Chains A and B, each alone.
Chain A
């Protein structure tokens, strides 16, 4: 490109920067000296700095030699694909010893619990979005159904964690089917909008149905899992025994964190094996066939209604389980925990992980959940940093961490893995 074109382009970028910088950096709220409260000041110098930086920056980028664009072999993805099993087992081993590592703390164990809950959510949504190709923007709704099943059954009938867990899965799956029924004809954008609306409806019901759900105040004292009926608390309930008393050890809060961590990890392993197996069954192949070509699937005698319903139901089931762990971990639920941000985060995990890849989703969950934690030192710039990291990752790996698909069945195991990015 000639110099004139470059300057023109840089000027355009600078103009955009001007528009953005005036409201974002141009105004300053201060409390200088007066008793009249806050004052709004205008800082033209900040705006000027932003505009000049963008102008010069764009010009420099334009003048630099452009790197040759060529299709690089998917080195990282191939590496992960070839060593999936080893990598997965290594990750599992680290997860098992995690609470006993020298640097481990209650905070880190609790954070790891949260990561695993998001992994489960990611795997569940991965079935709906990654395998069946049905874009669901209201996934937090099923998560909420799971969490509230535990909270409400304990509040009304004094149910414990273990009784509520299966019920939460079933309830969430039922709600998933209920949502799927009216949207079976929809695909792509339309489906996304309806599911987005559905997610909001569930949240708004939880807020407004005060007499039943305790409304925006939420529900306190959600029960934590017990160890075969032994609660992990400091003092035993009347006529009972605590975990610490039974094993003749001193009670410490760490026990509670570590126990919840291992329970979560155990269920996550079950969920993972469940999905791996489903993928190799006719139902899993039908999900993928539906994603690839619905018309061709129908021409092969696959009932698209059943296939879609099952994908929604399985996704919701897993979200229901994850919701129970979420509620137990916080010991508190409120509708605000299940807003659109939550659905978006889980979707980001799925997309970042590479649609439908278990290992990629696990990695993405680790990164997306811990990243905001690392940013705590940066105070108000935390979310900015988070956003920048997301943009960076998507430039570096636009198809997600793991962009290759492992075939569900192979003719010869000894054959070289021939896979092409989707």
Chain B
């Protein structure tokens, strides 16, 4: 069902189920993420949002269901791929709820490592690189320019040679997003990117995410608790509760949905 590209979703999740022993973390979840759109996954704590991400990016193998990514007229079945292949071949990049930078390395090195796949190829699996061939030097210069562009965008050019672990929290969040973008993904998965940010910083984050969507024309999948971010930039919102989807639609629809209000606020007393 290759279909025509315009109507087909980039990511198509069907009947995703994840069971940890006796705990059913995700129960038959189906949703889609469209191209060039921001899709938010929200829900109360413990609803299974991060588990969905971990299934998507290959950290967990789902108990059942299919995760299909449509790229270049091909369908990639993510549930059958290793995590690093999902990042390399499917082009899914992610950030983590508790930031996972290479804390002992510099900001610039973090962004260069993200371009590992391309650089590794250019270095001829290290042989051309060891010999110092021009091919590798050019590729490295390109990688450096790419990193410089992102440093500029997240405002960290002056700190490029600082150790990443010493950056303020907000900068680390943005650096992690920039690092994910340096892998040149088709789908960017962000796990609570606004957590711990002040209102000003979370406003900046909104602008950054919108500019990523519009400039690089990629899809963003986002887990978030900060409703300013979710309602402000999402094109579509999927609401989970106890591993089940309870709502799916535009931010306006979801905001009025009685099931969502009930999940977040509880039932009104009668």
Contact = CB atoms under 8 A, between A and B. Distances in A.
A281 interface: yes
B161 interface: yes
Interface string B48-62: 000000000111000
A295 B100 contact: yes
Contact of A300 (B113, B125, B132): B113
B144 interface: yes
B108 A302 contact: no
A293 interface: yes
B183 interface: yes
Interface in A376-422: 405, 407-412, 415, 417-420, 422
Contact of B126 (A281, A303, A411, A419): A281
Interface string B112-151: 1110110110010110011010001000100010001001
B161 A418 contact: yes
Interface stretch (B34-42, B87-95, B247-255): B87-95
B106 interface: yes
Interface string B83-112: 111011100011010001111111011001
A292 B116 contact: no
Contact of A288 (B101, B102, B129, B165): B102
A420 B163 contact: yes
A260 B109 CA distance: 40
Given A285-B116, A415-B161, A301 B88 contact: yes
B157 interface: yes
A409 B101 CA distance: 17
Query: Which of A297, A300, A410, A411 neighbours the largest number of chain B CB atoms within 10 Å of its CB?
Result: A300
B183 A282 contact: no
B178 to A, nearest CB: 12
Nearest to A293: B100
Contacts of B113: 282, 285-286, 289, 297, 300, 302
B183 A300 contact: yes
A281 B104 contact: no
Contacts of A304: 84
A292 B157 contact: no
A298 interface: yes
Interface residues of A, number: 36
Interface string A260-283: 000000000000001001100111
A156 B33 CA distance: 66
A292 B144 CA distance: 21
Nearest to B179: A300
A414 B249 CA distance: 53
B84 A407 contact: no
B28 interface: no
Of A282, A296, A302, A303, most buried by chain B (CB within 10 Å of CB) is A282
B148 A302 contact: no
Given A407-B105, A411-B148, A411-B160, A301 B166 contact: no
Contacts of A297: 84, 113
A29 interface: no
A303 B120 CA distance: 11
B138 to A, nearest CB: 14
Contacts of B165: 420
Interface string B147-185: 010010000010011110110000000000001100100
Contact of A296 (B101, B119, B157): B101
Interface of B: 57-59, 83-85, 87-89, 93-94, 96, 100-106, 108-109, 112-114, 116-117, 119-120, 123, 125-126, 129-130, 132, 136, 140, 144, 148, 151, 157, 160-163, 165-166, 179-180, 183
Closest 9 CB pairs of A and B: A301-B88, A301-B87, A292-B102, A411-B160, A296-B100, A282-B119, A281-B129, A282-B120, A298-B84
Interface of A: 274, 277-278, 281-283, 285-286, 288-289, 292-293, 295-304, 310, 405, 407-412, 415, 417-420, 422
11 contacts: A274-B130, A281-B130, A283-B125, A285-B113, A289-B113, A293-B100, A310-B126, A407-B161, A409-B108, A409-B144, A415-B161
